Amino acid sequence: MAADREHFSVGDIQLIAIKDGTFSYPPDWFFSNVPQEQLQQSLRNRGFPLHQIISPYTCLLVKAGRHRVLIDTGADGLPPTTGDLLKHLDAESINPEEITNVVLTHAHPDHIGGVLDTGGKPAFPNARYVMSKTEWDFWTSSPNLGNTRMDDHVKQLLVNCALKNLPPLKPCMELIEGENEIVPGVHAITAPGHTPGHIALVISSAKEQLLHMADTVLHPMHLEHPAWRTVFDLNQDDAAITRRRLLDRAAADKVNVLAYHFPFPGLGHVTSTGSAYRWEDATD
């Protein structure tokens, strides 16, 4: 099996986790409210690098009946270590024209980077693109990122990417509100905080479920320390509420989980340990 693609199933639905690439973040971007000494010790104890968080960008292809649903599109080479989505789809003998639905969990550059082709047109020309109306309205109407701890360069990068990539999608974009069925077996659920209209997804078939948490949680250590925060959550309080709600759901229902930024393929299970949680990697 290719190291950048992982095949698995949920009931009768076939899925492929696809790594668009990786990017290295400063640790204090992922853990912005943690004293440096405590963070370094925690990283050391878990065997993680001390000076960088190496994060994959894991897109998900869902084969549900006649539907071919792509969840998020990676960064399309925004960092030079990304942009592999189309190459991996081709390796699976899947053409962009075959994609019927593109679900965008939110409008950060590492999720919407691959929505357009080199000519500025939708990269998946026959697809219905789907996004939260709240998310669309926020990013297409002078978004205010002033309350975040991101530096000005990163804020401008996020805004510029949204203003470049979203408007060309308007003719093929479906904006949703609340919980919605995208196609049979694939449901969007609200998960605000990381961004105003951030969504997660539940994929279900034959009494099996996968909870796709998108960016509700960015790193396994956020489960062990739920109060630790990232600079990328635009509303820290809402993000914390959403994080606990989805982690509680995952633990209580004992469902499979996918997390976009966890070590590839980002598949595992969540267990509750008092006031915290534990990540159990499905590939261990």
**Positions of the chain with pLDDT lower than 70, given as ranges:** 1-2, 284
Residue 152: give its domain's CATH number.
3.60.15.10
pLDDT of residue 77: 85
| Counted domains in the chain | 1
pLDDT of residue 276: 94
3-state SS, the chain, equals CCCCEEEEEECCEEEEEEEEEEEEECHHHHCCCCCHHHHHHHHHHHCCCCCCEEEEEEEEEEEECCEEEEECCCCCCCCCCECCHHHHHHHCCCCHHHCCEEECCCCCHHHHCCCECCCCCECCCCCEEEEEHHHHHHHCCCCCCCCCCCCHHHHHHHHHHHHHHCHHHHHHEEEECCCEEEECCEEEEECCCCCCCCEEEEEEECCEEEEEEECCCCCCHHHHCCCCCCCCCCCHHHHHHHHHHHHHHHHHHCCEEEECCCCCCCEEEEEEECCEEEEEECCC
pLDDT of residue 2: 61
pLDDT of residue 283: 73
Domain containing 12: what range? 5-281
pTM assigned to the model:
0.96
